[in-house]
Every structure is written in C-alpha cells, then in structure tokens.
C-alpha cells in the first residue's frame, strides 16, 4: 500500500465512521456474524445489477403465528410499535412490541435476497413463528411512473410503498424472484419509503425486492439511503 | 367431379336466394333458426357456405374469400360472414394473393373433358365493391392442361416467397401431377410461358405452398371430395429446402410418390377438410382457412372454417378453436394458475399439517376414523373415501360481494381457481371464434379489464367490452387471452403473468412466455 493509498483508506474509514455515527450505525453488531449480511459503511448504495434492493433496516423478530390471508392481515394491521406505517427508524433504534425490547439493525445483503434466518440466528433470536418488519428508502432523481414493486418472500409478506399497501402474498411459501408484484405505481422524485412485514412459520426465511419498469425490466437509476429527505 | 358437384351446390344456394319463398329457402331458413336456437360454438357465424375457398385476403379492413362458382364471403371481424359480390369470372377453386397493391386472382375452368382445363388471371386494386377502384381486369391464361398430359390444370395455389419476393403457383388435381410454375410478381403472368412446369406431387389437389424457417411446405388435399359426409378429404403436408422439391413427409416419403403427413382430417361433427389457406397474424399467432365437405350441424353443407395454425418440431399442425368448458388457466411462464384473490379453503377442509389434535377437516374424527381397513394410519392415509369437489356456493360465503382482485397461485383444485369459458352469442368475434366470457365456475363473477390496465372479477357479467375475451391459440399451442378492449385504452392488451402470484394486462410480446397460457381441464 502506498502512502497515498494509506491516506485515502484512512480518510474513507473516517468518513464511514462519521456517517455511521450520524446515522446511528453502531461500530459492532451481531449482524456482522451473519454470513450474507454486513453493516452498511457508506451513505448510500445502488441496487444490484438486476435491480435488487440490498440495504434495509430490519427489526428483530416478533413472535407471531398464522400464514393464511386472514391471519397475516390481522397480524400486520395490529399496532406493534408507534409509527408502524409512517416512521423511519435508525440503526439501533428500539421498539417494544411485546414488552421485550427489540432493536432495528441496518443491514446490507451480499446476495439478491435478505436472509432473515441468518439475521435472526446471528442475533440469537428465534427464526420460526415470527414476524419481521423491514423498511428502506429509495431516492429517485426524477418521478418514475408505471413501475411495480416485485418481491419474493419466505413465507407470507405484506408490502407498502409510501404508505399504501401494494402487495400481500400468503401461505407457507419460499422466496421466488418476482413472486408478488404490485399494480402499476408512481415513484416520486426524492425519497420513497418501502416497508415490508414478513411472517415465517418454520425453517428458512428471507425476502428479495426490486422494482420493475414499465417494460417489466429491473428498475435502476436510484439510490438506497435508509434516510428520508434531507432537511 | 369435385367442381361439378360444387357448382351444383352453389346453384342450389343461388336458386334459393333468388326464390325466397321456395321450399329450399324455407328449409334453409328453418335450419338457420335451428342453428340460432341451439348453437353454442360452431365453425364461424353467418353465411359460411362455400366450397374450395381461396386464401383469405384483407381489403379496407374486411376479410374476403372466394370459392367455386363465384361464391364470395365477406366479414368485418372474421367471425360473422355474409355473402359478397361474385367476381366477373366464375370458375373453380380460385386462389387470391395481394401483391404490389394488386389483388391477383387465379381461377380455373374446364375447357373440355377433364383433365383439359386452364387457369386464368384476373386482377383488381380493390375488393371493396364500394370503392371506385373495384374493377376486375382479365389478364389471360397462366397455365393449362391439354387433356392428355398427366395434369389437370385447376386448383391454383400461390406463394410469394418471403426470402426473395418470387411468386410461385402450384396447381393440379388428381390427374397426374401437382405442378409448379413461377409467375412475375408485377404482372402475375408466367415468367417464362415456355418453361416446363416442375412436378411436385401426385394423388391430391388443392395444393398450396408456404414458407417457414427455411423450409418450403407443400400442403395438399388427399381423399375424395364432394360426397358430403362420405368425403374422405384430408389435408396433408410435405416439406423441402427448395421450392422445387422434393417434398418429403415426416416418414421420408416423397409426395410425388403419394407421401404426405396428415395436417387436418375429419373430427367432431365436421367432415372432409380441404383447401388450406395460411393466415399469418403477426409474431406468435397464425391461422388457416379451409372448408369442410360436410358440417353435420349445418345439415351437411360445405362450409368455411378458420382455425389456429400451430408449429411443432418443424411441422405445421391444425389447432382447434376454443370450445366452451371449465378450465384452470395456467401461466406458461410461472406454472401458477389464475384465481380470485380470496383466502382459499383446501378441498375437503383444513387439517393439521401433521394430523395433530384439533384437526377440523379431512383428517379429523379421531384415531383411525374413516381410514381404509388395514391400510395403516398416519397423516398420509387419507380418509378412505373420495373427497368431492368443492361446492362453490358453500365455499364462497365469505367472498367479498363486490369487485375482487385477481392473483395467481399453485393450482389446488379450489373453487376460486376454476374458470368457465363460454362463447357469448351476438357479441361478435374475431378470426375463427366468437368472444368469450370468463367466469368463476358456477358463479356470475366475470373476469374483466380495469381502466388501470389491471384485472378484476366483477360481480356479474354484463357484456361490456372489457368482459369479452378474445382467446387465440398461439403457434406453440398455448393461448393468448385479450379483453376486447380496456376502459379508456387504445391498444390491445393481453393477460400477462408478470409475477408468479400476480397477473396483469400488457401489450402482447410473442417472445415472452408471460403472455402464454395453458387451458387445462380442472
């Protein structure tokens, strides 16, 4: 490593530490032990080459049961924490949906999917009969019309974009790319909040999500920041 | 023989039309009323009696076909047909092709005892008799047989080669050979009137060439014609890399030695298909026209039909127009099936995954209850008796009363996954078929397009255009489903499996499996 590279590396590290401090990302987190997840070290990222959103805030699992349409809808409509459908937590924020204190974790997957089994196991949390809440923010340079959110999940899941419920898939199921797809929607210029509730029965659990453009091709050209509009 | 009987048939029809009060006309009228009262799905609607129809051509948005004796049939939509204006040259088994803004019609006639015949060209720039351009011009003889040679110069069939724009005509009928000559695509006349025709096949008639993916296909009609329900007419095919042959069938038998792979034979209540004509309709979809020597539902009359043209392993196959029935609608892309977005009930009721306590459905009833004697117990033993299909009236009590969204799921034999597809009378149609309604079986809930270009099930079928479906078989045998129109939309949209669990409407893309569906008996 040349002295110049060393200076650049140190500078990058300092920027990352400052960003993490500013966004509440803790320097060490059990999530780091998850084989397919890492903590974000930059202010933003872009979707993968095939459009998957890799950076999310995930709340530690809430005990839950039932995968039928009715059971899942009743579960996600129940208020688990304040601002459930409007808030934008930060890494390290806490919620107490069942009395026990649960923590939001900023994660970035190295794969197309977010492995919730890895997430929970790395934190020593249960992986079966649980509900995971996830949220991310995508920033669009311009308004984009006629796009669709396209997700897969293990198992049932419900999804919201900017507060509107757009997808619900139910039953004991595995993650399939573009399993649940929303109707056509518009992403506004700036921050758009994507929220997910994934309910697992037993075994593996994960999800993947991307947007499709008007021609059903993966949407790119946006960034993922985990924060809303700059004040 | 064929031509004589066909002319006689046309004479009967023409006579009946001239004498509306005659017994013949009354009989035809009664027959028509019978059709109107009893028809569900038949081969086309309206006036479809014709023998030896030409290839279909379009002019000013209408479809036209011409048959022996000057019969002309016209249709706005390809489903409902009416009689058009007879061209000035009546004859036998014409074929027509649109080349360079001219409609070239080749019409045969006997000029002595068979097989002495010739084929004449007439042409016009418009088939629309309301147009000032609709004027047929005579252009003379393009092929003939002298009554001695091994050929009967009737039954012309045209091919404009898509590779090089060369125009070819095959002709012939049973006496000796089916022959090939090249025509001038500008004049429609022979390139070289002295050139010796090429012999391609024997023992057939009504031949025509088509080209597909580097192959020339010779489709010709074998068997006997003009004997009503006793006609053995059937369409056979051979193929060659060269337009001049040899044309071999799937067993390697040369058509010049009588070979030919069956393309279409008699079936159902129609007998004796013949006189193939190709109808390309853009990427992924083709149809063909033919006549049946006898449609039993139309009193044994010779009638026009239009059917899907499929391709399999490099060979054309005759598809079938959709008939009323109940189906699961499965996506080729995802393998999942269209269903109402409601919480389904397992057939036979719910049960615990491992047969645990509290089972409410087919596994319930205590240890060994209802299980086959000596068959062992456990979660895989079943209940020892057949489980009936779901009664939709019973399982739908919790379904929302109004509009219900659609989605897709693994097919599990549940009521919300079974669709009745039913022809709608008096709603028009498209090439070969009427429009259909698609309803959840044994309910009125009808599949409809929404103004947003999405799907919904409305509580009841009203006949609105967004509830009428055009269902075409694609060349691979799968199906395309398109609403007649989308509220406020201007372009045709097709049912699309955009995700494994979600369907929408989008512009048809022949290169994608998302618009391809399999209709399976549930």
What is the chain A residue with the closest CA to B342? A69
Indicate if the pLDDT at residue B78 is higher than 70: yes
Domains of chain B (ranges plus CATH)?
44-318 (2.115.10.20), 325-347+390-520 (2.80.10.50)
- Residue A169 touches partner B, C-beta closer than 8 Å: yes
Shortest alpha-carbon distance between residue B498 and chain A (Å): 7
* pLDDT score for B373: 52
pLDDT digits over B438-475, tens only? Answer: 999 999 999 999 999 999 999 999 999 999 999 999 99
CA–CA separation, A52 and A172 (whole Å)? 23
* pLDDT score for A11: 52
- Lowest average pLDDT, out of A78-87, B233-242, B264-273, goes to A78-87
Query: What is the ipTM for the molecules in this complex?
Result: 0.84
Nearest to B500 among A70, A179, A184 (CB): A179
Residue B393's H or E segment, with its range, is helix B392-395
Instruction: Check: CB of residue B431 under 8 Å from CB of residue B75.
Output: no
Instruction: Check: CB of residue B417 under 8 Å from CB of residue B328.
Output: yes
Indicate if the pLDDT at residue B105 is higher than 50: yes
Residue where the block lists tokens 């509830």: B467
CA–CA separation, B500 and A174 (whole Å)? 12
Residue of A65, A158, A178, A209 for testing the chain B interface, max B β-carbons within 10 Å: A178
Tell me the average pLDDT of chain B.
89
Among B205, B204, B221, B252, smallest CA distance to B318 is for B221
Residue A1's contacts (CB-CB under 8 Å, 6 or more residues apart) are A9
A181 vs B342: CB contact, 8 Å cut-off?
no
* pLDDT score for B375: 56
* pLDDT score for A19: 47
* pLDDT score for A230: 57
Contact residues, A window 114-153, toward B, CB-based 8 Å cutoff? 148, 150, 152
- Phi, then psi, of B27 in degrees rounded to 5: -65, -45
Indicate if the pLDDT at residue B183 is higher than 50: yes
The pTM of the full predicted model, rounded to 2 decimals, is 0.87
Written as six digits, the tokens of A209 are 């999500």
CA–CA separation, B426 and A40 (whole Å)? 64
Nearest to B343 among A70, A152, A184 (CB): A70
A150 vs B499: CB contact, 8 Å cut-off?
yes
Contact residues, A window 45-74, toward B, CB-based 8 Å cutoff? 68-70
Among B298, B300, B317, smallest CA distance to B308 is for B317
pLDDT digits over B330-371, tens only? Answer: 999 999 999 999 999 999 998 765 543 333 444 333 344 445
Instruction: Check: CB of residue B247 under 8 Å from CB of residue B240.
Output: yes
pLDDT one digit per residue (tens) for chain A, 231 residues: 445 555 545 455 444 444 444 444 554 578 888 999 999 999 999 999 999 999 999 999 999 999 999 999 999 999 998 889 999 999 999 999 888 899 999 999 999 999 999 999 999 999 999 999 999 999 999 999 999 999 999 999 999 999 999 999 999 999 999 999 999 999 999 999 999 999 999 999 999 999 999 999 999 999 999 987 654
CA–CA separation, B483 and B473 (whole Å)? 15
B454 vs A183: CB contact, 8 Å cut-off?
yes
* % chain B with pLDDT above 70: 87
Instruction: Check: CB of residue B171 under 8 Å from CB of residue B154.
Output: yes
B42: confidence class by pLDDT, cuts 50, 70, 90: low
* pLDDT score for B449: 98
- Interhelix angle B23-38/B2-18, nearest 10 degrees: 90
Contact residues, A window 192-221, toward B, CB-based 8 Å cutoff? 212, 216
What is the chain A residue with the closest CA to B335? A179
Residue A217's contacts (CB-CB under 8 Å, 6 or more residues apart) are none
Largest CA distance in chain B: 92
Which residues lie across from B302 on neighbouring strands? none
Among B113, B207, B114, smallest CA distance to B155 is for B207
Q: Which residues of B touch A178 (CB under 8 A)?
A: 498-500
Among B393, B415, B394, B449, smallest CA distance to B342 is for B415
CA dihedral (B237, B241, B242, B244) in degrees, to 10, reads -30
* pLDDT score for A22: 46
Q: Which residues of A touch B514 (CB under 8 A)?
A: 216
Indicate if the pLDDT at residue B284 is higher than 60: yes
Q: Which residues of B touch A148 (CB under 8 A)?
A: 498
pLDDT digits over B12-21, tens only? Answer: 433 333 333 3
A69 vs B343: CB contact, 8 Å cut-off?
yes
Shortest alpha-carbon distance between residue A29 and chain B (Å): 35
CA–CA separation, B381 and B375 (whole Å)? 7
What value does the mean pLDDT take over residues B143-164?
Answer: 97
B514 vs A216: CB contact, 8 Å cut-off?
yes
Of the two residues B33 and B444, the one the predictor is more confident about is B444
CA–CA separation, B284 and B515 (whole Å)? 11
* pLDDT score for A6: 54
Shortest alpha-carbon distance between residue A141 and chain B (Å): 25
Indicate if the pLDDT at residue B491 is higher than 50: yes
Q: Which residues of A touch B504 (CB under 8 A)?
A: 181, 183-184
Instruction: Check: CB of residue B460 under 8 Å from CB of residue B295.
Output: no
* % chain B with pLDDT above 90: 82
Q: Which residues of A touch B409 (CB under 8 A)?
A: 171
């Amino acid at each position: 490593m040349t002295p110049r590279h060393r200076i650049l590396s140190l500078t990058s590290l300092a920027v990352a530490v400052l960003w993490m401090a500013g966004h509440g990302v803790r320097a060490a987190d059990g999530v780091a032990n998850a084989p397919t997840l890492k903590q974000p070290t930059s202010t933003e990222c872009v979707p993968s080459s095939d459009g998957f959103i890799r950076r999310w805030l995930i709340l530690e699992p809430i005990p839950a049961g039932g995968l039928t349409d009715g059971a899942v809808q009743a579960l996600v409509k129940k208020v688990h924490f304040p601002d459930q459908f409007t808030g934008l937590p930060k890494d390290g924020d806490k919620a107490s949906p069942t009395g026990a204190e649960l923590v939001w974790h900023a994660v970035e997957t190295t794969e197309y999917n977010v492995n919730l089994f890895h997430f929970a196991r790395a934190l020593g949390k249960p992986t079966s009969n649980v509900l995971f809440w996830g949220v991310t923010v995508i920033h669009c340079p311009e308004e984009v019309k006629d796009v669709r959110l396209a997700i897969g999940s293990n198992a049932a899941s419900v999804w919201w974009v900017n507060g509107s419920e757009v997808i619900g898939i139910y039953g004991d199921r595995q993650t399939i790319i573009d399993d649940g797809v929303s109707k056509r929607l518009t992403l506004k210029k700036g921050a758009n909040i994507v929220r997910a509730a994934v309910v697992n029965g037993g075994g593996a659990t994960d999800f993947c999500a991307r947007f499709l453009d008007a021609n059903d091709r993966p949407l790119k050209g946006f960034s993922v920041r985990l924060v809303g509009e700059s004040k | 023989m064929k031509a004589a009987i066909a002319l006689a048939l046309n004479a009967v029809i023409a006579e009946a039309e001239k004498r509306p009060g005659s017994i013949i006309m009354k009989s035809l009228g009664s027959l028509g009323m019978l059709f109107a009262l009893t028809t569900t799905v038949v081969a086309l609607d309206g006036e479809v009696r014709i023998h030896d129809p030409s290839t279909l051509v379009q002019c000013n948005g209408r479809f036209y076909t011409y048959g022996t004796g000057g019969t002309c049939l016209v249709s706005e939509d390809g489903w409902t047909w009416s009689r058009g204006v007879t061209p000035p040259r009546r004859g036998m088994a014409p074929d027509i092709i649109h080349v360079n803004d001219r409609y070239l019609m080749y019409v045969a006639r006997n000029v002595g005892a068979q097989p002495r015949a010739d084929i004449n060209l007439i042409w016009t720039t418009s088939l629309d008799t309301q147009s000032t351009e609709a004027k047929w011009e005579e252009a003379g003889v393009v092929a003939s047989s002298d009554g001695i040679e091994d050929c009967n110069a009737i039954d012309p069939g045209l091919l404009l080669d898509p590779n090089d724009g060369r125009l070819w005509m095959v002709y012939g009928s049973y006496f000796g050979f089916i022959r090939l000559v090249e025509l001038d695509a500008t004049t429609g006349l022979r390139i070289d009137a002295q050139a010796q025709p090429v012999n391609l096949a024997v023992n057939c008639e009504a031949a025509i060439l088509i080209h597909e993916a580097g192959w020339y296909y010779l489709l010709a009609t074998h068997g006997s014609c003009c004997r009503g329900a006793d006609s053995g007419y059937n369409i056979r095919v051979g193929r060659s890399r060269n337009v001049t042959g040899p044309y071999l069938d799937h067993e390697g038998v040369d058509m010049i030695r009588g070979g030919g792979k069956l393309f279409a034979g008699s079936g159902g209540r129609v007998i004796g298909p013949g006189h193939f004509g190709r109808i390309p309709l853009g990427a992924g979809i083709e149809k063909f026209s033919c006549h049946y020597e006898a449609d039993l539902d139309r009193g044994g009359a010779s009638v026009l039909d239009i059917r899907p043209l499929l391709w399999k392993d490099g060979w054309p196959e005759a598809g079938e127009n959709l008939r009323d029935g109940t189906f699961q609608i499965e996506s080729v892309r995802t393998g999942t099936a269209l269903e109402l977005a409601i919480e389904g009930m397992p057939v036979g009721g719910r049960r615990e995954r491992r047969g645990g306590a509290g089972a409410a459905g087919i596994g319930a009833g205590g240890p060994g209850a209802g299980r086959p004697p000596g068959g062992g117990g456990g979660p895989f033993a079943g209940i020892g008796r057949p489980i009936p299909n779901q009664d939709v009236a019973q399982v739908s009590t919790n379904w929302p009363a109004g509009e219900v969204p659609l989605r897709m799921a693994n097919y599990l034999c549940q009521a919300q996954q079974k669709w009745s597809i039913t022809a709608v009378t008096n709603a028009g149609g498209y090439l070969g078929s009427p429009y259909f309604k698609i309803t959840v079986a044994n309910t009125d809930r009808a599949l409809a397009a929404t103004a947003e270009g999405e799907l919904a099930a409305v509580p009841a079928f009203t006949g609105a255009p967004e509830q009428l479906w055009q269902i075409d078989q694609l060349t691979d045998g799968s199906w395309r489903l398109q609403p007649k129109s989308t509220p406020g939309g201007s372009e045709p949209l097709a049912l699309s499996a955009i995700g494994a669990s979600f369907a929408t409407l989008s512009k048809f893309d022949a290169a994608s499996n998302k618009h391809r569906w399999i209709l399976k008996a549930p």
